[in-house]
Structure 1
Amino acid sequence: MKIIEIEWCSPEYQSELELRHEVLRGPLGLKLTPEELDGEHAQMHFGVLENDELVATLVAQPQSSGVVQFRQMAVRTDQQRSGKGTELIKHCEEKIREQGFSEVQLDARQTCVPFYEKLGYQPVGDIFERITLKHQKMVKKLS
C-alpha cells in the first residue's frame, strides 16, 4: 500500500474521478457534475495505491483560516474495512497539519458516522440531506 498526492488532470486524477463515480455517485444513479468539479485544481487530492491501482481517494479543500474540509472520500468496495481508509485519513491529517491547518470538517454519510467517530471526529448540528442521503457534519481539532 502506498499513499500518494494526486495531481489535478493527471492520469491518477482520472482514476480518482472514476473511483469517486463508482463508489459515491453511480450507485445513486448520479454523475459528478462540472459544477462539483469546479475548483478542484486548487484542492489537495490524495489516493491509496495497491499494486499500482487506485483503491481509495480523498479530497482536502481549504476553507477559512486553519480549517480544511475533507470531501469525496471513496474506498473501492472490495477494499472497504481493510484499514486503507483509516490510513488515508491519518496520512491526510498529518499532511494538512504540516501545512498549518488545525481543524478538519467533513459531511459524513450517516452510515459512515461510526467510522469517523473512531478516528476522533465529533458530530456537529443536525442531520441533513444531500444527494438523496442523510449526512452529518463532523469536526476534528488537530493537535
Structure 2
Amino acid sequence: MADTKNMLDQLDFRIIDVESDDYGQTLLLRHEILRRPIGKSIAEDDLSRENEDCILGVFHGEQLVAMATLKDSSPEESIVRYVAVDESWQRQGIGTAVIRRLEEEARRSNKKSIRLMARVSVVPFYENLGYEKKGDPFVPDNHSVVHVWMAREL
C-alpha cells in the first residue's frame, strides 16, 4: 500500500474548466476508455451541459491519466459520471482516489448521497467503496453495455 500512496502523491488532482485544453484531454480519454471499446464515439455524446458539472482530472505531469465528473441531481444528491482511468494506470488506486475526491466535493456542497450508473463489470469495484446496487441491471438508451444504478450515503 505504501507504493500506491507514494504514486498517488506524484499525481495532480484538479478541477477542469470546459474552456481549457485539459477538457479536450478528458474527451479523448473518455473516448478511448468508455466509448471506443463499445463501438461508440464521444462525438455522439451531448456535451452541452458539462459546464455545469465538476470535472475532476488526474494528471501525471501534463498527461491526463484519469477523470470523472460530478453532477448535481438534487439539493441532496450528486451523480458520478464518466469515470475513466487510462489503461496503463489502472489497478493502482487511482480510480478509488477519484471517487473519494468526488465524495469530498459532494460533502462540501452539503450533499447527503451519491449515485452512479455502473457497468456490471465494475460493480465489485464500487461495492468495495461502499456503494450498493439500486434496482435491476438494464441497458441504457443508445448503449450496448448492461449497467446498474448504485448509491452511497455520505
Q: TM-score range by the shorter chain?
A: over 0.9
Kindly state the Cα deviation for residue 32 of structure 1 after the two structures are TM-superposed: 2.1
Cα distance in 2 between the residues matched to 1:18 and 1:104: 26
1:135 positional shift: 0.4
- Segments of 4+ in structure 1 off by > 6 A? none
Q: Between Structure 1 and Structure 2, whose CA radius of gyration is higher?
A: 2
Of residues 26-35 and 69-78 in structure 1, the stretch that sits farther from structure 2 once superposed is: 26-35
Between 1:133-142 and 1:26-35, the stretch displaced more is 26-35
Structure 2 residue 148 is matched with structure 1 residue 136: yes
How much does 1:38 deviate? 2.1
Cα drift, residue 35 of structure 1: 5.1
CA distance in 2 between counterparts of 1:69 and 1:33 reads 22
The correspondence for 1:56, drawn from 61, 66, 77, is: 66
Identity %: 35
Q: Which amino acid aligns with 2:41?
A: K
Give distance in 2, aligned partners of 1:7 and 1:34.
Answer: 21
**Structure showing the higher strand proportion among its residues:** 1
SS of structure 1 residue aligned to 2:40: coil
In the TM superposition, what is the alpha-carbon distance from 1:68 to its structure 2 partner? 0.5
1:77-114 CA-to-partner distances (Å, cap 9, x unmatched) read 11111101101111111111011111101000000100
Unaligned segments of structure 2, at least 5 residues = 1-10
TM-fit CA distance, 1:65: 1.6
Superimposed CA distance per residue, residues 47-68 of structure 1 (whole angstroms, 9 cap, x where no aligned partner): 1111221000001110012111
Task: Report the TM-score when normalising by structure 1.
Answer: 0.95
Residue 37 (structure 1) aligned with residue 54 (structure 2): no
Q: Is the counterpart of residue 8 in structure 1 residue 13 in structure 2?
A: no
Number of corresponding residues: 142
Q: Where does the alignment leave 5 or more consecutive residues of structure 1 unmatched?
A: none
Q: Normalized against structure 2, the TM-score is what? A: 0.88
